[in-house]
Amino acid sequence: MELKDKQVVAIGEREGVNGPSLKLLAESAGATVVFSVTECFV
């Protein structure tokens, strides 16, 4: 998926990949992260 110049909502999970990590990844791929959060679904 091409993320450059896209706006991204990053929802991470505590037991998987967390929100801040997703944000970092998306930004490094050229996206703008408009919201990021970590949830706990267990």
Contact positions vs other proteins (CB under 8 A): 13-16, 18-21, 36-42
| Closest residue by Cα to residue 39 from 22, 14, 20 | 14
Q: Is 2 or 40 the residue whose CB approaches other proteins more closely?
A: 40
Q: Is 2 or 11 the residue whose CB approaches other proteins more closely?
A: 11
Q: Is 13 or 27 the residue whose CB approaches other proteins more closely?
A: 13
For residue 11, the tally of other CB atoms under 10 A from its CB is 14
Using an 8 Å Cβ cutoff, are 19 and 11 in contact?
A: yes
Minimum gap (Å) between residue 18 Cβ and other proteins: 5
